[in-house]
Amino acid sequence: MNKPEDDLLINRILQGGPVAEEAFSDLAVYYGPKIYQQVFRILRDENLAQDAIQNTFIKIWRNLHQFNKECTLFSWIYRIAHNEALTILSKEKKQKDFVSNSPIVEWSGHSGFSDQLNTEEISNLLLEAIDMLPEKQAQTFQLKYFDDLKYSEISELLGTSEGALKANFHIASEKIKEFLLSQLNH
Amino acid sequence: MKEQRNILDDLKAKKIAIPDEAFFKSLAARVTQDSVPKKSAKVIPLVAVVLSAAAALVLLFWIFGSKSLNDSINEGTISFASLEDEEILEYVETNIDDFEEDEISALVVFSVKDSIGRVVNERNDQNFSVELDEMFSGLSDEDIMTFLKDEPTEEDEELVSIF
């Protein structure tokens, strides 16, 4: 699906009626999968991720009129989804000993590092490292590293130049690498 | 040296099973059917707010300011002698919500004390207030206003004269 024009999408949704419902469906179909991956990495549970996605889209539908266009629509949605996922994660951790056994990365071939950490442990550390990044760097890193999007696609989503995105990705990678190595040497 | 290698190169992101398009379409349909999007709140221009406030002040001055304010201050109460009883009653009736419960009960205490012959020197006589609260506890504001309007009695005349 081609990226819909955000302004057009927003205007159609704010019109209300069947036009709004159709536009909202387009929004969900285009942004839904990208956001789903984001929340799944945080929650690492299919049902919880779907709950977070549902809450996210309810908030988008109810609060789109408040979107002030200071960032791209994707960034706004990303932020809502991120917060929803963290809220759900926090509730789950309070209610029970929440343990996710669904790693988000795996060792490629035989890595020397794999002797020290299993995929679950390195996944947790990686998420911790991403969480410490500034939002733009975190978004860029995830869209590039995990979702393997082209810089041109990320540029369209985040409204940032490709050059700036490359710099963001480089800095983010360095910070993450530094964090992971410090944890491994600890 | 392991530390000099990029650890991220040794990691591979796992594929996430993303729900299909039908899931997101169905989700969107559920969301749009269950709730209505909020519209932007209507922004009231500052000029309109200022004009409204000014109009309210003029109205208040017209009602209270022009009625022998100085004399009223000297007496400790506002004198409405120049107003017709009906005008006062109509004003109170229309603006009953603007009066605090305490204000109304204080005035009622003051007026009723004479009619039932009790000697209460101060308006804030606590015991008497409690008794009155009990007396009127079953009556709503509307009941009282209907009574005052439809059943004028000597007490009402006194009440009006106090105003």
pLDDT tens, A31-78? 999 999 999 998 989 999 999 999 999 999 999 999 988 899 999 999
* Count of structural domains, chain A: 2
Subunit contact B14:A104, Cβ cutoff 8 A: yes
pLDDT band at A116, cuts 50/70/90? confident
pLDDT tens, B84-101? 777 777 777 777 777 666
Query: Does one domain contain both B70 and B123?
Result: no
Query: Does one domain contain both B61 and B113?
Result: no
Query: Does one domain contain both B87 and B67?
Result: no
The two beta strands, A105-107 and B11-13, are antiparallel
Map residue A105 onto helix, strand or coil.
strand
Last residue of a domain, one of A102, A132, A164: A102
Query: Does one domain contain both A96 and A123?
Result: no
**ipTM associated with this complex:** 0.84
Distance from CA of A160 to the nearest CA of B (A): 24
pLDDT(A141) > 90: yes
Mean pLDDT (chain B, rounded): 66
Query: Does one domain contain both B45 and B71?
Result: yes
pLDDT tens, B18-74? 999 999 999 999 999 887 655 555 556 666 667 777 777 777 777 666 555 555 445
- Mutating which of B11, B35, B40 best tests the A interface, going by the most A Cβ atoms within 10 A? B11
Structural domain that includes position A9: 1-102
The pLDDT of residue B117: 44
DSSP character for B16?
P
Centroid of chain to Cα A166: 18
Query: Does one domain contain both A82 and A127?
Result: no
Query: Can you read off the two tokens belonging to residue B101?
Result: 């419960």
Structural domain that includes position B46: 41-75
For the ranges A36-50, A82-96, B127-141, the lowest mean pLDDT is seen at: B127-141
Counting residues of chain A whose pLDDT is more than 70, the rounded percentage is 95
Subunit contact A126:B11, Cβ cutoff 8 A: yes
- Taking the C-alpha atoms of residue A67 and residue A71, their distance in angstroms, rounded to an integer, is 9
Query: Does one domain contain both A124 and A66?
Result: no
The pLDDT of residue A117: 79
Q: Are A57 and B57 in contact (CB under 8 A)?
A: no
Query: Does one domain contain both A19 and A86?
Result: yes
Query: Does one domain contain both A98 and A144?
Result: no
The pLDDT of residue A176: 94
CB atoms within 10 A of CB A186: 5
The pLDDT of residue A64: 95
Query: Can you read off the two tokens belonging to residue A61?
Result: 């539908």
- Taking the C-alpha atoms of residue A105 and residue A123, their distance in angstroms, rounded to an integer, is 6
A19 touches chain B (CB under 8 A): no
Domain CATH code at residue A167: 1.10.10.10
Residues of A in contact with B43 (CB under 8 A): none
- Mutating which of B5, B10, B34, B35 best tests the A interface, going by the most A Cβ atoms within 10 A? B10
* Count of structural domains, chain B: 2
The pLDDT of residue A92: 87
- How many interface pairs between A and B have CB atoms less than 8 angstroms apart? 115
Query: Does one domain contain both A175 and A122?
Result: yes
Query: Does one domain contain both A46 and A75?
Result: yes
Of A38, A39, A30, A20, nearest in space to A142 by CA? A38
DSSP character for B123?
T
Q: Indicate whether B20 belongs to any domain.
A: no
Q: Please give the single-letter amino acid code of residue B54.
A: A
The pLDDT of residue A40: 93
